[in-house]
Amino acid sequence: MSTGYFATERQDDQISVAGQAMRDAEYSIFHAYAEPGAIIDDFELVSQRIASAAGRTVSWAESGILGYSVLADLPKLRQMQADMRRLDITRLSAIETVLNRLNDLATPEVLAEFDDYLVKVFTPRSAGMELPSATSLKRRLRDRIKQVDAKLAPSPKKTKARKKAKDAPFGTCQGVFYGQDDGDAGLNISGDSATIGLMDMYVGAVAKEHKLSRDDALQMILTGQQHSSIQLVLHVFSPKTPGAGYFVPGFGWSGADGTEIIDALKETAKVKVIDLDEAEHAETDAYVPTEAMKAFVQTRDGTCRWPGCNVAARRCQLDHRIPYGNGGKTTPSNLFCLCQRHHNIKTDRRATYVVDHVTGEVVWLFDDGTFQVSEPDGLIVEYLAEGENPRWKSTLEQRRKRRRDSAEFNARCHSAVEQYEKDYDWEACVETITTLEDKFGRKFEYAPEKMPEITPELLASLKRHLRDLELEREGFEECDSASPESVVFSP
């Protein structure tokens, strides 16, 4: 029998004993979710109840549930945890986070190999061994995942650097002005999605108010020729669950940090939280829907509702399915996003559609007797469906599935970027990322910028630049070799 133990298991050390008691308490709260087939009908409500009862944060409760849930796939490690309680939530979360990348590759055979490996990692070989840290666990598991599929284990340093370069604090942006030898110049602005979204809204509002093109409006705003007192309001949706995040139309769910900042922005009146139930059933006598209605419909539909059309909802018109002139109401249940082209087809009666308000599906009917079904593509669709399940509710399995999809998607996309940094095959990189975006229904935010092609003009510009540097260096060398008396500075 092994006499080894970890430093966290010293019976004569009061701190070790206290640490064990903390892990025992975590086990008492969360061990039920480690059992195969554990069911949570409403993940958000259960997390909130645990957080309130334990006096901890909702994110801590979510991490505990998800961390322990991974043990359902690792029976040997689950038994070790039941016997010893060696792993705290931080280490279990590290295991869950990395193994999520396997997603559909997590066959029973693959999981059994990881199970054996983790039991070995957490079996002390000598007295007073240091318990492996969460960082060490992630590194070890990534190395083993490479043996399953190398594309699931991109460099964490490069991934972090890529995110740091792309992500800006909420409410900030960076602008770069640049010029070129051929007389052209440019401006590049980057920032968080919500801030850029507010800029986009402002440019559009100024263009509409002064009857300008968006390009002209942008130019006049930046050159100080146009000022406006337009007050922008960013509409967001929020579930009823306390502590849950916000859904920003066009940009997705807010994380913990973003949620706190949106809470702060609500006080400035620049952010308005829309009650989903009220927005869905809101109605106006006017032909033009309210801004809240527009935000709701655009978020519900995601894209143009014509089958296979990918024009973003915010670039579409809001079509009255039953024409306003024929008594059709201006309410979300009668409003659907159609791009200009397909709105014209509907207006010309070359095709018509009916709606299943239970599923959200739109059934298009054509003159030749055929039909085609279009599903809503918005990110809040799953929360809007009527039926037995309450709205804005997710099960434990749904939450785990979303996390696995997200982990695999991001890992493969970052690997595609790393491959581009090696072979500079832009088309292959874009094709890979686009395929992954279509498969997972997500948007990769860290796609690389295309390297400039080495054109004759660019090559000539580089040569001139190098020649200027050479002449400048030669001038300095002549000055260094001359005596102080011989150096003459011309006015």
Q: What's the burial of 176, exposed, middle or buried (CB within 10 Å: 0-12/13-18/19+)?
A: exposed
Rg (CA), the chain: 29
pLDDT for the residue 484: 45
| Cα–Cα dist 47/58, whole Å | 6
Query: Under CATH, what is the fold of the domain 274-386?
Result: DNA Binding (I), subunit A (1.10.30)
DSSP secondary structure code for residue 367 in this structure: T
Q: pLDDT tens, position by position, for the chain (491 residues)?
A: 457 899 999 999 999 999 999 999 999 999 999 999 999 988 888 998 999 899 999 899 999 999 999 999 999 999 999 999 999 999 999 999 999 999 999 999 999 999 999 999 999 988 989 999 999 999 999 989 988 888 898 888 888 877 776 665 555 567 777 666 566 777 877 665 556 767 777 888 888 888 899 899 999 988 988 877 776 666 777 655 555 566 776 666 655 555 666 666 666 665 566 666 677 889 999 999 988 888 889 888 888 999 888 888 888 999 999 999 999 999 999 999 999 999 999 988 889 999 988 778 899 998 888 888 887 876 555 554 444 444 445 688 888 888 999 899 999 999 999 999 888 888 999 999 999 988 888 888 888 877 766 666 666 776 777 777 777 666 655 555 544 444 443 34
**Nearest-CA neighbor of 333 among 345, 347, 344, 318?**
318
Q: Which residues, other chains included, contact 301 with Cβ-Cβ below 8 Å and sequence gap of 6+?
A: 313, 316, 336, 337, 376, 377, 378
| Cα–Cα dist 198/394, whole Å | 30
Phi, psi for 206 (deg, rounded to 5)? -65, -40
If residue 67 lies in a helix (H) or strand (E), which one and from where to where? helix 58-69
User: Model-level pTM?
Assistant: 0.55
**Nearest-CA neighbor of 392 among 257, 235, 237?**
237
Q: Which residues, other chains included, contact 240 with Cβ-Cβ below 8 Å and sequence gap of 6+?
A: 392
Q: What CA–CA distances, in Å, run from 227 to 90, 159, 202, 208, 214?
A: 51, 40, 11, 13, 14
- 374 and 306 in contact (C-beta within 8 Å)? yes
The DSSP string of 52-65 is HHHT--HHHHHHHH
Parse the chain into domains and list their residue ranges: 14-157, 182-223, 232-272, 274-386
Chain centre distance of CA 242: 21
**Nearest-CA neighbor of 352 among 367, 336, 332, 330?**
367
pLDDT for the residue 147: 86
